[in-house]
Amino acid sequence: MLTDHFRPQSFNGIDDIVIVGGGLAGLFCALKLSPRPVTILAAAPIGHGASSAWAQGGIAAAMSTGDTVEKHVADTVAAGAGIVDEKMTRMMVAEGPARIHDLLEYGVPFDRDLEGKLILSREAAHSERRIVRVKGDMAGKAIMEALIAAVRNTPSIRVIEGYVVEELVREGRFISGVVARPDAGQSKTRVSFPARAVVLCSGGVGHLYAVTTNPWEACGQGVGMAARAGAIIADPEFVQFHPTAINIGKDPAPLATEALRGDGAILVNSKGRRFMLDIHPDGELAPRDVVSRGVFDEVKAGRGAFLDCTKAVGKHFPDMFPTVYASCMAAGIDPVTQPIPVAPAVHYHMGGVLTDGEGRTSIDGLWAAGEVTSTGVHGANRLASNSLLEAVVFAARIAENIKGTLPAPKLTEWGDNAGENDDPVTVEDSPPFKRLRGLMSECVGVVRTRESLLHAIREIAELERVNTRLRFANIITTAKLIAVAALQRAESRGGHFRADCPAERPEWQRRTYLTLAQAERLAAEAAETEPA
């Protein structure tokens, strides 16, 4: 029995929509719902615990002369390794320019030329220049700052910070609210938030792994919560590793944006050899999974991997990429004259809670947007800068769908219920969580095998057996879904690479759909398999 799973205290308030998460998807959805009353529950001060704020590249949108929706769709499909949902992708790409204009209206200072036109850059696997940026590598920060200001100035939006949502409340077919723990998850009591509509925007899974570019809050809780409530999870095995995290021992790892390679930076090993040209004809601009494995192999072989920007960017580095420049200089590396040491790090999860074109999950009353979801637009490998695009497009569609489904707010006073006391919870620094992160990196990382995945599933089962915390149960549920799906997919495709099955297989050119009950059955079968 989980010791912190008890009848919570309820919160006095009036509302009928609760958004879980204060990242790009959550804030954008709240603004689009305005003037409808909405509550945002954020684990950290909005903008501080969100991967969106750390996004360096920008947003992809087909807005340049000569670019088209079809070209953007084609690039997305090619990167997604055969399992992209083309209908969903076309819808997302078609709505991209309108969402860029929304962001401009909210005050996002996208880069413009002297004539006032948006400056568009190119990133890996894009056939055209279509990345809208801010000061080179500050798009995420600038977008979040603008949206936070807009949210703070919108009376219909209530932001409650420092509340870690631990549970989705299900009554029959419907999600009827959430349960959260205040004080950044350290409170002894929990608080219930009843709602007619819950929008899950809780972010990704990066901190399931030992090396990641994501903030601490991105530890897979949202996927685990939804799965435990009965939602269908799609494509959990597809984890994207960014090939150029700055390898200086920091957690999270600072990121050397892909835009550097788009502007001509090259990858070399300690001998100065440019190794990516031996692996893929596009070299450094190959799909991320290919570049990640190339970097991984050099690091594992002891030759190291370095991003050399000295010729392509050189003296312009401080002005063009101030975030990366600051991270390097803080570590004693001058990227103007020195190559930057890099390593692959978990950056994005293509899998997540299955949603349709309106952001609806498989459970009534629950919508989801952003990295916690799997809409099908990323397939097995996300195209660079499509993630922020996906977040704003589907957040806007959710707002429209809720307005149509629940046309009038139902304002209800929430009564008081006495909460039970419980010990404060510290999951993220606990030995079991550290053990899980090491296990996921070692066995369910850039390169996987049947034996490594079987070992991971057995270890996850042991961690589950001794766990008494609901929050860790959510986290480890997500880890189990990823490992089980990776074991079942006996091929290599996109971000999922099996060294024992290195080729794509036609019978696996399909998406993965799992419930928690199915994953538990498969995990039990795997745990009984004899080690080699």
The residues annotated as belonging to the active site are 288
What's the token pair of residue 475?
A: 């986290």
Q: What is the 3-state secondary structure (H, E, C) of 133-174?
A: CCCCCCHHHHHHHHHHHHHHCCCCEEEEECCEEEEEEEECCE
Place of tokens 């419907």: 174
Amino acid at 67: D
Counting DSSP H helices and E strands in the chain, the numbers are 15, 20
Residue 18's closest CA among 191, 276, 244? 191
Angle of CA points 15, 361, 506, to nearest 5°: 160
Residue 517's Cβ-count burial label (10 Å; 0-12, 13-18, 19+) is exposed
Q: What share of the chain is helix, strand, coil (3-state, %, to 5)?
A: 40, 20, 45
Which contacts (CB < 8 Å, 24+ apart) does range 516-519 have? 516/227, 516/228, 516/230, 516/233, 516/477, 516/481, 519/227, 519/233, 519/480, 519/481, 519/484, 519/485
How far is the C-alpha of 416 from the C-alpha of 449, rounded, in Å?
Answer: 52
Residue 34's closest CA among 143, 178, 139, 152? 152
How far is the C-alpha of 130 from the C-alpha of 93, rounded, in Å?
Answer: 11
Place of tokens 């009843």: 194
Place of tokens 């004809």: 281
What's the token pair of residue 292?
A: 């990640």
